[in-house]
Protein backbone atom coordinates (compact mmCIF):
# COMPACT_ATOMS: atom_id res chain seq x y z
CA UNK A 1 0.00 0.00 0.00
CA UNK A 2 1.35 3.40 -1.00
CA UNK A 3 1.38 6.35 1.35
CA UNK A 4 -0.46 9.40 0.03
CA UNK A 5 1.14 12.68 1.05
CA UNK A 6 -0.84 15.89 0.56
CA UNK A 7 0.88 19.03 -0.70
CA UNK A 8 -0.88 22.23 0.30
CA UNK A 9 -0.80 25.61 -1.42
CA UNK A 10 2.65 27.22 -1.12
CA UNK A 11 4.06 23.93 0.14
CA UNK A 12 6.05 20.94 -1.10
CA UNK A 13 6.73 17.33 -0.20
CA UNK A 14 9.64 15.02 -0.94
CA UNK A 15 9.46 11.24 -0.68
CA UNK A 16 10.68 7.98 -2.17
CA UNK A 17 8.73 5.08 -3.59
CA UNK A 18 6.28 3.74 -2.66
CA UNK A 19 4.38 6.99 -2.20
CA UNK A 20 1.96 9.24 -4.05
CA UNK A 21 2.25 13.01 -3.73
CA UNK A 22 -1.07 14.82 -4.25
CA UNK A 23 -2.05 18.46 -4.58
CA UNK A 24 -5.52 19.91 -5.08
CA UNK A 25 -6.91 23.14 -6.46
CA UNK A 26 -4.29 24.21 -8.99
CA UNK A 27 -5.83 27.17 -10.80
CA UNK A 28 -3.33 29.85 -11.76
CA UNK A 29 -0.87 28.10 -9.41
CA UNK A 30 1.72 25.68 -10.78
CA UNK A 31 2.39 22.13 -9.73
CA UNK A 32 5.93 20.96 -10.45
CA UNK A 33 6.90 17.30 -10.05
CA UNK A 34 10.63 16.53 -9.99
CA UNK A 35 11.88 12.94 -10.18
CA UNK A 36 15.07 10.87 -10.10
CA UNK A 37 14.23 7.55 -11.80
CA UNK A 38 17.25 5.75 -10.35
CA UNK A 39 16.49 6.40 -6.68
CA UNK A 40 12.72 6.75 -7.25
CA UNK A 41 12.89 9.92 -5.19
CA UNK A 42 10.73 12.86 -6.13
CA UNK A 43 9.07 16.01 -5.00
CA UNK A 44 5.95 18.00 -5.72
CA UNK A 45 5.59 21.73 -5.13
CA UNK A 46 2.41 23.87 -5.32
CA UNK A 47 3.66 27.31 -6.41
CA UNK A 48 1.40 30.31 -5.85
CA UNK A 49 3.37 33.13 -7.51
CA UNK A 50 6.34 33.49 -9.87
CA UNK A 51 8.63 35.96 -8.10
CA UNK A 52 9.46 36.51 -4.43
CA UNK A 53 11.15 39.87 -5.01
CA UNK A 54 7.79 41.65 -4.89
CA UNK A 55 7.26 40.51 -1.29
CA UNK A 56 9.96 41.63 1.13
CA UNK A 57 8.34 40.06 4.19
CA UNK A 58 7.69 36.57 2.83
CA UNK A 59 8.95 33.78 5.06
CA UNK A 60 7.79 30.93 2.81
CA UNK A 61 10.19 30.13 -0.06
CA UNK A 62 7.81 27.50 -1.43
CA UNK A 63 5.16 30.09 -2.27
CA UNK A 64 7.30 31.31 -5.18
CA UNK A 65 8.87 29.70 -8.26
CA UNK A 66 12.17 31.59 -7.97
CA UNK A 67 12.88 30.46 -4.41
CA UNK A 68 10.87 27.25 -4.07
CA UNK A 69 12.26 25.29 -7.00
CA UNK A 70 15.96 25.72 -6.09
CA UNK A 71 15.22 24.85 -2.46
CA UNK A 72 13.27 21.76 -3.45
CA UNK A 73 16.19 20.59 -5.63
CA UNK A 74 18.62 21.08 -2.73
CA UNK A 75 16.31 19.10 -0.46
CA UNK A 76 15.93 16.32 -3.05
CA UNK A 77 19.72 16.06 -3.27
CA UNK A 78 19.91 15.73 0.51
CA UNK A 79 17.54 12.73 0.19
CA UNK A 80 19.77 10.96 -2.36
CA UNK A 81 18.50 12.32 -5.68
CA UNK A 82 21.11 13.46 -8.22
CA UNK A 83 20.39 16.81 -9.88
CA UNK A 84 21.65 15.79 -13.34
CA UNK A 85 19.15 12.89 -13.35
CA UNK A 86 16.13 15.00 -12.38
CA UNK A 87 13.33 15.70 -14.82
CA UNK A 88 10.13 17.68 -14.40
CA UNK A 89 6.47 17.33 -15.22
CA UNK A 90 4.44 20.50 -14.78
CA UNK A 91 0.76 21.43 -14.68
CA UNK A 92 -1.38 24.45 -13.87
CA UNK A 93 -1.06 28.08 -14.83
CA UNK A 94 -4.72 28.50 -15.78
CA UNK A 95 -6.40 31.82 -16.41
CA UNK A 96 -9.05 31.62 -13.71
CA UNK A 97 -10.65 35.04 -13.93
CA UNK A 98 -11.48 35.47 -17.59
CA UNK A 99 -9.67 37.54 -20.14
CA UNK A 100 -6.29 38.59 -18.78
CA UNK A 101 -7.47 38.37 -15.18
CA UNK A 102 -10.41 40.81 -15.24
CA UNK A 103 -8.86 43.12 -17.82
CA UNK A 104 -6.10 44.32 -15.50
CA UNK A 105 -3.30 42.81 -17.59
CA UNK A 106 -2.49 40.39 -14.77
CA UNK A 107 -1.96 36.98 -16.28
CA UNK A 108 -0.79 35.24 -13.10
CA UNK A 109 -1.16 31.78 -14.65
CA UNK A 110 0.91 32.79 -17.68
CA UNK A 111 3.54 34.43 -15.47
CA UNK A 112 3.74 31.27 -13.37
CA UNK A 113 4.18 29.06 -16.45
CA UNK A 114 6.96 31.29 -17.80
CA UNK A 115 8.75 31.53 -14.45
CA UNK A 116 8.68 27.77 -13.86
CA UNK A 117 9.91 26.97 -17.39
CA UNK A 118 12.66 29.63 -17.23
CA UNK A 119 13.91 28.48 -13.82
CA UNK A 120 13.92 24.79 -14.77
CA UNK A 121 15.82 25.63 -17.97
CA UNK A 122 18.36 27.68 -16.00
CA UNK A 123 18.79 24.74 -13.61
CA UNK A 124 19.23 22.31 -16.56
CA UNK A 125 16.20 20.25 -15.53
CA UNK A 126 14.26 19.08 -18.60
CA UNK A 127 10.47 19.29 -18.70
CA UNK A 128 9.28 15.86 -19.88
CA UNK A 129 5.57 16.67 -20.02
CA UNK A 130 3.28 19.58 -19.30
CA UNK A 131 -0.42 20.34 -19.03
CA UNK A 132 -0.63 24.11 -18.63
CA UNK A 133 -2.91 27.06 -19.35
CA UNK A 134 -6.60 26.87 -20.08
CA UNK A 135 -9.29 27.94 -17.64
CA UNK A 136 -9.81 24.95 -15.37
CA UNK A 137 -8.76 23.65 -11.99
CA UNK A 138 -6.40 20.69 -11.68
CA UNK A 139 -5.63 17.99 -9.14
CA UNK A 140 -2.29 16.17 -9.40
CA UNK A 141 -1.26 12.70 -8.21
CA UNK A 142 2.47 11.93 -8.59
CA UNK A 143 3.31 8.22 -8.26
CA UNK A 144 6.90 7.83 -7.09
CA UNK A 145 6.98 4.11 -7.92
CA UNK A 146 6.35 4.73 -11.63
CA UNK A 147 7.05 8.45 -12.16
CA UNK A 148 3.57 8.89 -13.63
CA UNK A 149 1.74 12.15 -13.04
CA UNK A 150 -2.05 11.96 -13.17
CA UNK A 151 -3.77 15.26 -13.91
CA UNK A 152 -7.50 15.61 -13.24
CA UNK A 153 -8.75 18.80 -14.87
CA UNK A 154 -12.19 20.35 -14.49
CA UNK A 155 -13.01 22.94 -17.14
CA UNK A 156 -16.44 24.17 -18.24
CA UNK A 157 -18.19 21.40 -16.28
CA UNK A 158 -16.14 18.73 -18.07
CA UNK A 159 -13.69 16.45 -16.32
CA UNK A 160 -10.60 15.19 -18.14
CA UNK A 161 -7.97 12.84 -16.72
CA UNK A 162 -4.49 12.54 -18.24
CA UNK A 163 -1.68 10.30 -17.14
CA UNK A 164 1.83 11.00 -18.32
Active site residue: 29, 33, 34, 44, which one? 29
Dihedrals phi, psi of 40, to nearest 5 degrees: 55, 40
Q: Which residues contact 46 (CB under 8 A, 6 or more apart)?
A: 7, 8, 9, 10, 11, 12, 23, 26, 29, 30, 31, 62
Say how far apart CA 50 and CA 64 lie, in whole Å: 5
Closest CA to 92 of 43, 131, 37: 131
User: Active-site residue 102, yes or no?
Assistant: no
User: CB atoms < 10 A from the CB of 48, how many?
Assistant: 18
How far apart CA 154 and CA 13 sit, in angstroms, is 24
Q: Quick count: other Cβ atoms within 10 Å of Cβ 119? A: 22
Q: Supply the residues annotated as catalytic.
A: 29
Amino acid sequence: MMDQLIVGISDYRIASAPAVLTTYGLGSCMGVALYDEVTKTGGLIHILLPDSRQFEDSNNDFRFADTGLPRMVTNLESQGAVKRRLWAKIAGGASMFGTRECGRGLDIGGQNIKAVCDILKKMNIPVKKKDVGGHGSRTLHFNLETGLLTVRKIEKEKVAVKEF
